Structure 1
Amino acid sequence: MTLPRSYRQPGVVLTDHHFTVPLDHDRPDGERIELYAREVVANDKDPERLPWLLYLEGGPGFGARRFTGRQAWLERALADHRVLLLDQRGTGRSTPLNRQTLPARGTPAEQAAHLTHFRADSIVRDAEAIRPALTGGAPWTVLGQSFGGFCATHYLSTAPEGLTAALITGGLPSLHATATEVYEAAYPRIERKNLAHYARYPMDVDRARRIAAHLAERPAELPGGYRLTTEAFQSLGLMLGAGDGSHQLHYLLEDAFVTTPAGPALSDAFLHAVQVHLSFAGHPLYALLHEAIYAQDPAAPTAWAAERVRAAHPRFDAAKALAGDGPVLFTGETIHPWHFTSDPALAPLRETAGLLASRTGWTPLYDPAVLAANEVPVAAAVYHDDMYVDTAHSLATARAVRGLRTWVTDEFEHDGVRAGGPRVLDRLLSLVRDEV
């Protein structure tokens, strides 16, 4: 571990921490990788001995959010915690993995084998490896957003002695569902989000149809080289899972075209904005590992589950929608083989992604027996009809974890812990402390 360095932002003191951990925790004497984490403490509490709160970002594949000062839920957390924002292995400043670095691992098969060490099980073992150096061995509270909640559930299954409490927002996973079952539950939910968007903005039905029809004849190239096809355009539906996502999608669609001497064309401004939403350049592990986070059956590959299940939902077929008069439905948190041909950030990893999709031998991530005997205080915000995480799956898991308290709400979408500011975290802290 290198010596930490501290600096200040308004209202907070930040400290950079660097660690080395085993790539494979079952081989502690083998290859090691670097982890980065940022400590945040209120400037007036810096000298105090405060309990620690570990934040695990959603994803997979996203580094911890870069806050300025006391933004969002940090305002509440810093009232009584020292916070650690961990860049999970392979993300941010933690030995990042992408099209530029993965080739150093060797062949696509060797890259795929390497990536098997970047799921929730390894992330939790990283947390346990660095905890003694930060807390002196004391347990800490974990706050897991989305995929971070999957990690927190694994934490409860395998290392509950490291936890004072677990707080989960939009991230209670099914303990048993396969990737196929996850997407079988997801597509009807995604369709509901589409229909709600079009009910709010009926003018977007024609706008989306016009854009989809244009792309069906003339796929566009985005500024970064991304090939914008009709399918890629539909994947903008990922926006519909956020609190303001429907509104932002509406604004994106409303000025897509400009009139040129050659006729209507998609505007540079539109194509630039779409590039920001669609490119995986900043988070390639999201695409590579997204279905692997659901893989728990040693005998079953994920086998491009979202693509297979989509075929059973013809209303998402844009060509059929354009042949009739129905709306073009957007997809959601789904990864498809075409992502690895359309996106220059993913294209060099196409074979690696295919090998991960066909891989067997995945290990279970949750231990129902341990969770049924859980003694760690746990509270979870479950968002009603969350587009990203199935509410029924989450509630079934809530019933399976001894002592877990839920807050089921339709006040927020999947990003409630960010959009709701301090309120969401305050509610969960009150639940684990039996204050409500």
Structure 2
Amino acid sequence: MTSTSYRQPGVVLTDHHFSVPLDHTAPDGERIEVYGREVVAGGRTGDDLPWLVYLEGGPGHGARRFNGAPAWLGRAVRDYRVLLLDQRGTGRSTPRNRQTLPAVGDAAAQAAHLGHFRADSIVRDCELIRGQLTGGAPWSVLGQSFGGFCATHYLSTAPEGLREVFITGGLPSLDGHADDVYRAAYPRIQRKVEAHYTRYPQDVERARRIAAHLAEQPTTLPGGYTLTVEAFQSLGILLGSGDGSHQLHYLLENAFVRTGAGHELSDAFQEAVSQQLSFAGHPLYALLHEPIYAQGGRATGWSAERVRAEFPAFDAATALAGDAPVLFTGETIHPWHFTSDPALRPLRETADLLAARTDWPALYDPARLAANEVPVAAAVYHDDMYVDTADSLRTARAIRGLRTWVTDEYEHDGVRAGGERVLDRLIGLVRDEV
């Protein structure tokens, strides 16, 4: 482990670099690096504080970069020494993307390699890192979204390493196949789109106009992304966050510019859409999004694409042929992502092999969760677009002693949008203060 310290307003940061096995069942084999940023309040650097490790949502996203200690981090550093972990393959950890994966080998080798980048491997990384940072003492975990999936796996496999667990928008189904996840997701997505159009009725015609333009003339965005109708619809992923409806509205309102040749999609619109849709900064999200649900001997088989066919309201061509609104989609990954996005195009065969894999290990142990003794509190967001509320509540009942806070005050990003309040509430729950 190597470390470097520096300061930001109100906090001291320390960069940590850890060497871990790619495959924890072969500890003498290939090794990769995992990065974590320690954050401690400026006046408490010498204090013997308990550790809190933050597991970001995703998969495939590095830990959020903060300036100082805003939002939940400000609450956390009052009580903890925080580790913002870049999960393997993300951020400053050994990156896995179109530039680095060719060195692993062909598509089959890449798919086998990426099989070591799910929650099971992330938790085993955490256990190695915990031994180096805490001297073996248990630590606390805050898991946001996919980070909550990791925390649930942690409770299933290594609860002895946990002092307490906080989960926000991230209680997974313990046994649902990806098909079940998406069959529950599409109706939620439709409700979010309908709510957006109720708030901004002018966006119905704007979205139809953009979709009609793209149906006739797919556009190559800055950076080489091919904007098709389906890609445009995927902007609906914004609707799962607290201010996402407003972001989408402002994105749509200046889509066209008048030129000498007629109306064209404006440069400003194209640039903004490119930034929203590109996976260049988080390619593992696309590659591993469906595999995070895979277990039980079944392939995911491009689940979101197959299940979408069961919901014809999302077919833009049908909507444009009549007078129905064009529905946006949400947190779904499709084969066309790997032809539209230049950051993903070289990885299409790898993605196909991951979608076909059937021997994914089980991620959760219901018997161990039913016997849980670790204090756990979870924020469950009512009608969360990304994680099914019903699944979350079933899992909450399956984990012994877990306390829930079910709220419709926030969307999926409540732990970020809610300032200190969400984490403070969860801390209160595990301490029996609320």
Q: TM-score, normalised by structure 2?
A: 1.00
Q: How does 1:1-16 map to 2 (within 5 A)?
A: 1-2=1-2, 4-16=3-15
Provide the rounded CA distance (Å) in 2 between the counterparts of 1:138 and 1:434. Answer: 22
Structure-2 separation of matches of 1:52 and 1:373: 24
Deviations 1:285-321 (A, max 9, x none): 00000000000112x1000000000001000000000
Q: How far is 1:14 from its partner?
A: 0.2
Q: After TM superposition, give the deviation of residue 241 of structure 1 in Å.
A: 0.1
Q: Which amino acid aligns with 2:110?
A: Q
Q: Read off the aligned partner of 2:124 and give its amino acid letter.
A: R
2:320 to 304, 311, 322: 322
Aligned to 1:80: 79
Runs of 4+ in 1 over 2 A off after TM superposition: none
Separation (CA, whole Å) in 2 of partners of 1:309 and 1:266? 31
Partner of 1:293: 292
Is structure 2 residue 421 aligned with structure 1 residue 426?
no
SS at 1:5's partner residue? Answer: strand
What is aligned with 2:228? 229
Mapping 1:23-62, distance limit 5 Å: 23-62=22-61
Aligned match of 1:126:
125
In structure 1, the residue matched to 2:398 is 400
| Equivalent in the alignment of 1:365 | 363
Establish whether residue 382 from structure 1 lines up as the match of residue 360 from structure 2: no
In the TM superposition, residue 246 of structure 1 has moved relative to its aligned partner by 0.3
SS, match of residue 61 in structure 2: coil
Measured in 1, the distance between the counterparts of 2:325 and 2:377 equals 39
Match of 2:169 in 1: 170
User: How far apart are the structure 1 equivalents of 2:392 and 2:194?
Assistant: 23
Alignment of 1:206 onto 2:205:
yes
- 1:65 corresponds to which residue? 64
Q: 3-state DSSP class of the match of 1:84?
A: strand
Q: Distance in 1 between matches of 2:134 and 2:419?
A: 26
Specify the SS of the correspondent of 1:19.
strand
CA distance in 2, matches of 1:321, 1:249: 20
Classify the secondary structure of the residue corresponding to 1:90.
coil
In 1, Cα distance between equivalents of 2:247 and 2:30 = 44
Matches of 2:25 and 2:71 in 1, distance apart? 37
Measured after TM superposition, the shift of residue 132 of structure 1 is 1.3
| Aligned residue number for residue 417 of structure 1 | 415
Which residue of the partner structure matches residue 347 of structure 2? 349
Aligned residue in 2 for 1:197: 196
How far apart, CA to CA, are the structure 1 residues paired with 2:413 and 2:213?
Answer: 32
One-letter amino acid of the counterpart of residue 384, structure 2: D
Inter-partner Cα distance in structure 1 for 2:153 and 2:183? 23
TM-score by length of 1: 0.99
The alpha-carbon deviation at position 158 of structure 1 amounts to: 0.3
1: CA distance, partners of 2:177 / 2:269: 37
| Partner in structure 1 of residue 301 of structure 2 | 303
Tell me which amino acid in the other structure corresponds to 2:390.
Answer: A
Give the whole-Å Cα distance in 2 for the aligned partners of 1:297 and 1:157: 16
Q: Match for 1:158: what amino acid?
A: T
Gaps of 5+ in 1: none
Shift of 1:72: 1.3
Per the TM alignment, residue 227 of structure 1 is displaced from its structure 2 partner at its CA by 0.2
Structure 2: how far apart are the matches of 1:90 and 1:301? 23
Query: Within 1, Cα distance between the matches of 2:296 and 2:93?
Result: 29
Between the aligned partners of 1:430 and 1:317, the Cα distance in structure 2 is 45
The equivalent residue for 1:258 is 257
d(CA) in 2 for partners of 1:382, 1:204? 30
User: Partner residue of 1:115?
Assistant: 114
For 1:429 and 1:155, locate their aligned partners in 2 and report how far apart those are by CA, in whole Å. 19
Deviations 1:340-384 (A, max 9, x none): 000000000000000000111011100000000000000000000
The DSSP-based 3-state class of the residue aligned with 1:78 is: helix
Match of 2:145 in 1: 146
Q: 1:71 offset after TM fit, Å?
A: 1.3
Aligned equivalents of 1:365, 1:166: Cα separation in 2: 17
Distance 1:18 1:200 in 2: 46
DSSP-derived class of the 1:336 partner: coil
Letter of the structure 2 residue corresponding to residue 249 of structure 1: L
SS in 2 for 1:189: helix
SS of equivalent residue, structure 1 residue 180:
helix
- CA–CA separation in structure 1 for the residues paired with 2:167 and 2:407: 14
Deviations 1:382-433 (A, max 9, x none): 0000000000000000000000000000000000000001100000000000
* Rounded Cα–Cα distance in structure 2 between residues aligned with 1:78 and 1:419: 18
